[in-house]
Structure 1
Amino acid sequence: MAQEPRIDVETRAQGIRSSLSDEQGEQIADAFGWQGVWFSAEQDGDADTRRPETTWELVADRPHQGVTAKGRAAVHLAEGHRTLTRPLILADGFGYGPSDLDALWGHFNTPYQDGKPGFLDQLRSMGIDVVLLGFNQRHTYLQANAAVAVTCVQRVLAERTGEAPLVVGGVSMGGMVTRYALARMEADGLDHQTDKYFSYDTPHLGAWIPLVLQQLAYLHEALQPPEGGEPGQAELIRSPAAQQLLWGWVDSADFSGPVTANPLRQEFLDDLRRVGWFPMRPYKLGLANGLGTGIGLDLGPGTPVFDLQSADLQLTARIQPDGGTLENVGTIKLGPPVWTSATSHVAAWDGAPGGTLDSWGRIADAMGLPIHERLRNSCFVPTVSAIALTRDPYQWQPDLYKDLRDLPKDETLLDAFCCDTANREHSAVSKPLIEWFLEQLAGW
C-alpha cells in the first residue's frame, strides 16, 4: 500500500511572533515583501472591453452551509441577435473576492493570432450568444456558487428565444462549479437543456499550490497581521474553494500531518458523487493548458528556488521533492533554526505537465530576489486533472506524468479533450485549444 503523503514542521512556528524581537519579525516579514492575498492571480488581456447588452444580478437557488451566494452575468448577444437565441455560458474561475467580468472578457477575447478576432468575438460571429458568469465571492464553497450557476441556467432558459440547446461550462474552478450545477439539476429532475458541457483547464482531479508556499503565506500573515479589516496573505488558501480544489492542503505554518485528509474536499467529492459525478445529458469537452505527452516542466525536484543568505538570516524554499521521507522544502534561520518544513511521500507535482501558475516568480519579485526564468512557474492544474483521467481524486497520484496520446476512451470521464502544444499559463488562450473548441461547436 502506498505511503500517505504528509508534511512535517520540524521546528514549530507557533508563537514565533512572541519568540522573536520586533526587529527579527519585521526582518523575516520584509524578506517576503508581497502584500495582499497570495496566489490570487487575476485575468489579464489586451482586448477592449465590450459593453454587454444587459447584466443580470443573480442569487443562488438554495444556500449551502448557511451561505446564499450571489453573482452577476454579462450577456453579450451574437452579431445580428436582439435576444438570446443560442446561449453559451462561460463561468469565471478560482480567485479571491468578486469576479471582474470586464477582465474576463478582455482575457478570453485577446486575439491569439495577428489578424484574427478574439475567441469571444468569433463565437458571436458564429451566431453564439456569450453569457459571462461571475461570482461575488469566488472563494466560497463550490456548492454555493454552483447554486448561482443553476439560477443563471434557469434565467437563460427563461430569456431565450426559440429552443436551441445550451452550451455551459467554465474556466478553472468555473468548470467544476458548472459541472456540479448541471449534475445537481439532473439529480433534482430539472431540465437544464444543455447539449454541451466544457471545462477549460479545470482541476477535475485536483489542483496544486506548493505546500511550502502555502505555509510561508501563513507564516508571513502571522508575522505581519493584516490591519483595518484587510484580508491576510493566506486568505485564499484557507478559503472553502481552495480546500475543496487543492489536492494537498495545509491549514497553518505549523501543520504536521497528512496533506490529503481535508474534510471540505471529501465533503465536496461526496456531494459530487451523490448528484452523479458528471452531468449525463451533455457531450462533455475538456481543454487542458498542459501537454498531453507526459513531458513536464524543467523543475528539478528539491531544487532551491529561494535561497536568501545574509549575515543573520537564511530563508530557503525548494521545488517539491519527488517522494522520499522528511525531504526538506523550507528553512528559516536567525542564528538557530526558527522554522523548517519537510514532506514525505509527496510526488513531484511542481514539474508535472499542466497549466502553470507563477507563484514562485511573483514571490521572488516581491522579495527582490533574482530567479531563473524556468523556476518562475510551477504546475497548478496537471494535464491529467484537466482531462478528467479516470482516477479517484483522493487516491491520486501515480499518473502525473502519464502520456495521454492514444488514451483509451474509458480512461477519461470526458467525451473528448484537447491538450495544448506547450505547458502554458493556467487559463491561457491559445490557438490549438480555441480552434479545437470552435470546431466542436461548428455543428451545434
Structure 2
Amino acid sequence: MTDQQQPVVEPFGFLAPTPPALEPAPAPDDTWEVPGGTAWVYLSDPDAGLRRPVILSDGFESGPSDLDRLWAGLERGDYAFFTELRRRGHDLVLVGYDDRSASILRNAETVTQVVFRAIGERLGDAPLTVGGFSMGGLVTRYALAKLEADGVDHQTALYLSYDSPHRGAWVPVGLQAIAHFLKATPALSRQINSAAARQLLWRHVESVDAEPVEDALRTEFLAELARVGSWPQRPRRIGVANGTGNGVGPGVPPDEDAVTVSGGWFSGTALRTQASGDKRLVARLKGLLSEAEVRTTGIPALDGAPGGTLETFGIAGDRLKLTGSTEIAVRSICFVPSVSAVAIGDLDDPYAEVDALDPYTSELDEFKLARTNEPHSHMSEALGSWILDRLPQ
C-alpha cells in the first residue's frame, strides 16, 4: 500500500474536530439569500419587525457555514448570548458563507449585501452593530472600511470583533507540513492552502519543504486593508480576546514532542511544539515511501503564548490514530494570540503583557481579555455580557 492509498478520514481538517450531532437551531424569523452566502434573522419581537440589527459574521473553516453549529457554540454553552441579546431588544442577523475558506475580500462582499439589506428592511433609524467571530471580525472590518473608502454610509455605530486575528493567527509549521505530506487526504492541504488560510496565518507553508513566510495573499490583503483605511473610522471599535492579558500562556512547553506515532503507516512521525531559535525541529514526517524533517528559524514559541486556543495537535493526533499507534502529549495550543485579538502588538512578541501596556496603543477603542486562556471563540458570560453592555441603545 502506498502513501496515496492510506485512508485517513478528515472531513473537517485540522482546525475543527468532527462535530457531534447537534440539536437544530430554532427556525429564523427570516432568511436572506445573498450573493456568496445566507443571513439568518432572529427578531427580538417578531410583531415589531427589524428595528435594532446586530449583524454578526461566521469565521473560518472549510465549506459552507452551518447554522446549527453556529447556534450551538454561541447559545448552548456557558452563556446564552443570542437569547440575552434579543432579550435586550436587539435583532440578530447571522451571516454565513457558501465557502468559509474563500478570500476575505470575497466574503466581505457578502457582508456588504447583508448591511444593505438590513438598512433597507430596518424600521426606524437605529444604527447598526456589525462584527464577527474569528475571521468574521476581519471580514466585517474590511467590508465597513471599504464602504467608507467608497463614500457609502453604512449606518453602523459599533464594530466588534470576537477573538479575531487582527495581527495574524498561528497554526504550527509542522502541522501545516503534515497536511501537505498526507497525500491521501488532499482536503487537508487544500484547507491550509485556501485563500482565507493564506490571508489569516502569520506564517504559512504551501508545501512540505517550503519555508514558512508571510504568504503573498496575506501581504496583498494587508495592503488592500491599508488602502481602505485599515479600520472603519465612523463606528466605535471594540473587541475581546479569549486569551489572558498577563503574559501567561496555556502552559505548553517549547521543543517537546506533542504527537508521536509508533506504529502503522506513519511510524516514526513526530510533531513537536515550536521553540524559538535557529533550525528548530518541529516535525519528523515518515510514510511508507517518503520522509521529511521540518525546521524553522526565527519563529517565537507561539504554541504556548497567551491567547484563544485550538486543539490543533489533538485533532491531528486523533486523525493519525486511525493509521496506527499514536500518543498525544499536547492537545491544545495558542491559535489567536491575545496581542493579535486586541490589535495591540505583533506575533514577534506574543508574550507581551497586555495588561501592562497603554490601552490607547491598541487600534481598538476598547477591549477586554479573558481571565484564563479559553478555547478560541468560546462564548463566556464575562466576554459576552461585556459586549452586550456596549451595544448602541
Could you say whether these structures have the same fold, taking a TM-score greater than 0.5 normalized by the shorter chain as the test? yes
Q: Name the CA shift for 1:97/1:336 in 2 (closer, same or farther; >3 Å).
A: closer
TM alignment of 1:44-55, pairs within 5 A: 49-55=25-31
How far residue 75 of structure 1 moved from its aligned partner, in angstroms, is 0.5
1:84 is matched with which residue? Answer: 50
> Whole-Å Cα distance in 2 between the matches of residues 421 and 310 of structure 1?
40
1:407 to 337, 350, 357: 357
2:308 is matched with which residue? Answer: 355
Q: Deviations over 1:90-110 (max 9, x none)?
A: 100001111112321222111
AA aligned opposite 2:304 = G
> Whole-Å Cα distance in 1 between the matches of residues 332 and 185 of structure 2?
27
Contact 2:302 2:350 in 1 (8 A): yes
1:242 to 188, 194, 197: 197
How far residue 158 of structure 1 moved from its aligned partner, in angstroms, is 0.3
Q: Name the CA shift for 1:127/1:264 in 2 (closer, same or farther; >3 Å).
A: same
> Whole-Å Cα distance in 2 between the matches of residues 381 and 193 of structure 1?
30
> Larger radius of gyration, structure 1 or 2?
1
1:317 is matched with which residue? Answer: 271
SS at match of 2:390: helix
Instruction: Spell out structure 1 runs of 4+ moving beyond 6 A.
Output: 42-47, 334-337
- The percentage of counterpart residues that share the same residue type is 40
> Whole-Å Cα distance in 1 between the matches of residues 24 and 386 of structure 2?
24
Q: Does 1:141 align with 2:103?
A: yes
> Whole-Å Cα distance in 2 between the matches of residues 402 and 46 of structure 1?
38
Q: Name the CA shift for 1:309/1:135 in 2 (closer, same or farther; >3 Å).
A: same
Contact 1:44 1:106 in 2 (8 A): no
1:5 is matched with which residue? Answer: none
Q: Which runs of 5+ in 1 are unaligned?
A: 1-21, 60-69, 227-231
How far residue 405 of structure 1 moved from its aligned partner, in angstroms, is 1.2
Q: Name the CA shift for 1:121/1:336 in 2 (closer, same or farther; >3 Å).
A: closer
SS at match of 2:354: coil
Contact 1:101 1:133 in 2 (8 A): no
TM alignment of 1:1-150, pairs within 5 A: 22-23=1-2, 25=3, 29=6, 33-41=8-16, 49-59=25-35, 70-79=36-45, 81-112=47-78, 118-150=80-112
> Whole-Å Cα distance in 1 between the matches of residues 378 and 368 of structure 2?
14
SS at match of 1:108: helix
2:319 is matched with which residue? Answer: 366
Q: What is the aligned-residue RMSD (CA, Å)? A: 2.2
SS at match of 1:199: strand
1:152 is matched with which residue? Answer: 114
> Whole-Å Cα distance in 2 between the matches of residues 26 and 155 of structure 1?
47
> Whole-Å Cα distance in 2 between the matches of residues 279 and 136 of structure 1?
25
AA aligned opposite 2:199 = Q
Q: Which runs of 5+ in 2 are unaligned?
A: none
How far residue 245 of structure 1 moved from its aligned partner, in angstroms, is 0.6
> Whole-Å Cα distance in 2 between the matches of residues 102 and 233 of structure 1?
23
How far residue 294 of structure 1 moved from its aligned partner, in angstroms, is 0.7
2:180 is matched with which residue? Answer: 218
Q: Deviations over 1:359-398 (max 9, x none)?
A: 11112222232324xx110111001000011x5xxxx433
TM alignment of 1:204-215, pairs within 5 A: 204-215=166-177
TM alignment of 1:286-301, pairs within 5 A: 286-301=239-254
> Whole-Å Cα distance in 2 between the matches of residues 333 and 130 of structure 1?
48
> Whole-Å Cα distance in 1 between the matches of residues 285 and 46 of structure 2?
61
TM-score for the superposition, normalised by structure 2: 0.93
AA aligned opposite 1:371 = I
Alignment coverage as a number of residue pairs:
387
Contact 1:71 1:148 in 2 (8 A): yes
Q: Deviations over 1:40-99 (max 9, x none)?
A: 42788977621111101112xxxxxxxxxx110001000364311000001000011111
Range moving further from structure 2, 44-53 or 422-431: 44-53
SS at match of 2:192: coil
> Whole-Å Cα distance in 2 between the matches of residues 175 and 225 of structure 1?
30
Contact 1:45 1:103 in 2 (8 A): no
